[in-house]
Structure 1
Amino acid sequence: MYSFDSLPVATTLGSRDLTLSEDLVNAWLRLFPEDRDDGRMGGRMPAGMVAVVAMRAYADVVAPRPPGNVHGAQRFEIVERPRVGERLVTAVAIRDKEVKRDRRWVHLATDTIGEDGTPRFRGRMTILWAA
Structure 2
Amino acid sequence: MHLFDTLREGAAFGAEELHLSDALMERWTSLYPDDPPDGRMPAGMIAVATMRAYSSLVVPRPPGNIHGSQRYEMLRRPSVGERLTTRIACAGKELKRDRRWVHFDTETVGEDGTPCFRGRMTILWAA
Q: TM-score, normalised by structure 1?
A: 0.94
Structure 2 counterpart of 1:68:
64
Runs of 4+ in 1 over 4 A off after TM superposition: none
C-alpha distance in 2, partners of 1:104/1:25? 36
C-alpha distance in 2, partners of 1:13/1:118? 20
- Between stretches 5-14 and 44-53, larger displacement belongs to 5-14
Provide the aligned C-alpha RMSD in A.
0.9
C-alpha distance in 2, partners of 1:113/1:75? 17
Letter in 2 for 1:68: G
Letter in 2 for 1:19: H
SS of 1:6's equivalent in the other structure is coil
1:45 maps to 2:41: yes
Aligned residues: 127
- Per-residue CA shift, 1:27-74, capped at 9, x if unaligned? 1111111111xxxx5310111000000000000110110111000000
SS of 2:35's equivalent in the other structure is helix
Q: 2:54 aligns with which of 50, 53, 58?
A: 58
Q: TM-score, normalised by structure 2?
A: 0.96
Instruction: In structure 2, list runs of 5 or more residues that go unmatched.
Output: none
Q: 1:126 aligns with which of 100, 122, 125?
A: 122
Instruction: In structure 1, list runs of 5 or more residues that go unmatched.
Output: none
- Per-residue CA shift, 1:80-125, capped at 9, x if unaligned? 0111111111000100000000000000100000001100000110
- Between stretches 93-102 and 13-22, larger displacement belongs to 13-22
Percent identity, aligned pairs only, is 60
C-alpha distance in 2, partners of 1:32/1:55? 18
